[in-house]
């Protein structure tokens, strides 16, 4: 979806892979000067050069490393706080290290990113921030205890930051993806038994692609969303609207990776 981001600088955390990379590509495709920030092991400069962006090494759990990165990028017009991680563990199996890491990256990382970036953005009295939250910000999907807690906490950051930064004409919104095909979920997508069951609960009958989240994030980041702040937008094929699911064998067939009507 071509949106005009000419003369805008965008920073995307976790931009070397998956949803962040798709977002960075969408923004670059619309003419933005894009910086991706990611961990050294992801070689962000190399990853960014593949689609005309620039990359810097930064760890969102470390405010000093973020400060160093934003000294290079300067104040962004658009900030996507997207970096995240996940452990598939339940209440009893989650270790203290997994809990602390998940909260540090997914919740602390967004806090540090917004705090460092917004100090640069505020004097300019403009800007747009999009946080990658999740459907798991709202539900209690089993086996994702720490992840769910971190993503639910993002709603508190979202609303408070929207409130505090609104007077500076900085909008803060969130995308809440459902199940999206990235390396975090590649094993789930490769398991037809699992997807057959999972996608029963998705009115559109399938999982999502990173580009579909990027389209929503790009819209929220763009001037087209000029009067939208504090919003959390589901990008989930309708999953959160469908309490008891949508598909069964009497009306549909499951083919490879999606349900279709008979």
Ligand X SMILES: NC(=O)c1ccc[n+]([C@@H]2O[C@H](COP(=O)([O-])OP(=O)(O)OC[C@H]3O[C@@H](n4cnc5c(N)ncnc54)[C@H](O)[C@@H]3O)[C@@H](O)[C@H]2O)c1
Q: What residue ranges bind ligand X (CB under 6 A)?
A: 13-14, 16-20, 38-39, 42, 59-61, 82-85, 105, 109, 132, 134, 177, 179-180, 182-185
Of 88 and 168, which has the nearer Cβ to ligand X?
Answer: 88
The DSSP annotation for 150-192 comes to HHHHHHHHHHHHHHHHGGGTEEEEEEEE-SB-STTTHHHHT-H
Residues with Cβ within 8 Å of 193's Cβ and at least 6 positions away in sequence, in order, are none
Of 4 and 64, which has the nearer Cβ to ligand X?
Answer: 64
Catalytic residue among 87, 147, 168, 198: 147
Q: CB of 93: closest distance to ligand X in angstroms?
A: 19
How far, CA to CA in Å, does 238 sit from each of 18, 178, 201, 204, 230? 21, 9, 9, 7, 20
Q: CB of 66: closest distance to ligand X in angstroms?
A: 9
What is the distance between the alpha carbons of residues 93 and 143, in angstroms, rounded to a whole number? 9
Of 169 and 257, which has the nearer Cβ to ligand X?
Answer: 257
Told to judge if 198 belongs to the known catalytic residues of this protein, a careful annotator would answer: no
Q: CB of 246: closest distance to ligand X in angstroms?
A: 19
Q: CB of 19: closest distance to ligand X in angstroms?
A: 4
Of 135 and 246, which has the nearer Cβ to ligand X?
Answer: 135
Q: Residue 40's Cα: distance from chain center in Å?
A: 20
Radius of gyration for the chain, computed over Cα atoms and rounded to the nearest angstrom: 18
What is the distance between the alpha carbons of residues 257 and 26, in angstroms, rounded to a whole number? 25
Q: CB of 183: closest distance to ligand X in angstroms?
A: 5
The pairing of beta strand 258-261 with beta strand 252-255: antiparallel
Of 102 and 118, which has the nearer Cβ to ligand X?
Answer: 102
CB 84 within 8 A of CB 61: no
Per-residue buried b or exposed e for 171-200, using 16+ beta carbons within 10 Å of the residue's own CB: bbbbbbbbbbbbebbeeebeeeeebbebbb
Token pair of 118 as six digits: 């917004």
Catalytic residue IDs? 147
């Amino acid at each position: 979806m071509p949106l005009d981001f000419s003369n805008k600088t965008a920073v995307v955390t976790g931009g070397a892979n998956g949803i962040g990379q798709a977002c960075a590509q969408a923004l670059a495709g619309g003419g933005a000067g894009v910086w991706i920030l990611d961990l050294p092991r992801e070689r962000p400069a190399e990853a960014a050069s593949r689609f005309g962006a620039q990359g810097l090494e930064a760890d969102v759990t470390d405010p000093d490393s973020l400060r160093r990165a934003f000294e290079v990028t300067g104040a962004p017009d658009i900030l996507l706080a997207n970096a995240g991680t996940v452990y598939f563990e339940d209440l009893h199996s989650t270790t203290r290290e997994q809990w602390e890491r998940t909260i540090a990256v997914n919740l602390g990382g967004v806090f540090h990113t917004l705090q460092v970036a917004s100090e640069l953005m505020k004097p300019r009295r403009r800007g747009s921030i999009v946080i990658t939250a999740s459907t798991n910000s709202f539900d209690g999907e089993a086996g994702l205890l720490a992840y769910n807690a971190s993503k639910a906490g993002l709603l508190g950051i979202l609303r408070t930051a929207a409130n505090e930064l609104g007077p500076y004409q900085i909008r803060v919104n969130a995308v809440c993806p459902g199940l999206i095909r990235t390396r975090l979920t590649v094993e789930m997508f490769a398991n037809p038994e699992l997807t057959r069951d999972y996608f029963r609960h998705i009115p559109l009958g399938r999982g999502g692609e990173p580009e579909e989240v990027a389209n929503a994030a790009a819209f929220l980041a763009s001037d087209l969303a000029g009067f939208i702040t504090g919003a959390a937008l589901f990008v989930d094929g309708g999953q959160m609207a469908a309490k008891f699911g949508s598909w069964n064998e009497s009306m549909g067939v499951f083919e490879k990776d999606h349900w279709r009507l008979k």
